[in-house]
Structure 1
Amino acid sequence: MALKIKKGDKVVVISGSDKGKTGEVLRTLPSENRVVVQGVNLVKRHTRASATSQGGIIEKEATIHVSNVAHVDPKDNKPTRVGFKLVDDRKVRVAKRSGEQLDR
């Protein structure tokens, strides 16, 4: 099944330890139903020094399940579900809460 969330979307975490945090989707993994959100679900990674990077403890975003995030409504910045509507023979995503278009 295709994800209703795409790279670059503004989302809010609706469950888990990072509940309430908002961020932009950096990457989607449709085969695993997971997304990477900027500044959310940070994990520490111990890396060895290499020719290109310095070693040490690096904090980076881990994936989060797509069911734990919701779109941010463009009108009132609250979580919303996503629906689809045909506009000029083109399928666009719309916010269920306000009816506002999510696709540019």
Structure 2
Amino acid sequence: MKVKKGDLVRVISGKDKGKEGKVLRVIPKLDKIVVENVNIVKKHQRPTQELREGGIIEQPSAIHASKVMVVCPSCGKPTRVGYRFLEEGRKVRICRKCNEIIDKV
């Protein structure tokens, strides 16, 4: 999976098309991700020991990873992700538009 937790992504299809957000969770087995403020669903919550107040809460739900593109930190555009090996042998993700490294050092 080319999307990692903490990446900034832009939704390219669906009801939330055009929205940007940070990846909160990655589910590789289902090829899905959870992005903040995207695909918000309402959940009926009962009062518990931790959550004293019940009611209807809103939370982000998972969307398919193919519906998002990673936003490059250097050029600021949504891009496809490629891979390259550095001199020390480390594999890093690169932006296909500007050929800059996406991964933080």
TM score, norm. by length of structure 1: 0.95
Q: Which amino acid aligns with 1:47?
A: Q
User: What's the CA shift for 1:90?
Assistant: 0.6
- 2:16 alignment counterpart: 18
Runs (4 or more) in structure 1 with deviation over 3 Å come to none
Map 1:24-39 onto structure 2 (within 5 A). 24-39=22-37
Letter in 1 for 2:58: E
Matched length: 102
Q: CA deviation at 1:75?
A: 2.6
SS at match of 2:33: strand
Secondary structure at the counterpart of residue 67 of structure 1: helix
The percent of aligned pairs where both chains have the same amino acid is 49
SS of the residue 2:66 aligns to: helix
Q: For the residues of structure 2 that align with 1:70 and 1:52, how far apart are their CA atoms?
A: 36
Residue of structure 2 in register with 1:93 after alignment:
93
Tell me, which stretches of 5 or more residues in structure 2 are unaligned? none
Q: Unaligned regions of 5+ residues in structure 1, if any?
A: none
- Corresponding residue number in structure 2 for 1:58: 57
Distance 1:76 1:93 in 2: 15
Give the alignment's Cα RMSD to 1 decimal. 0.8
Give 2:78's aligned residue.
Answer: 79
Matched to 2:33, the amino acid is V
Q: TM-score, normalised by structure 2?
A: 0.94
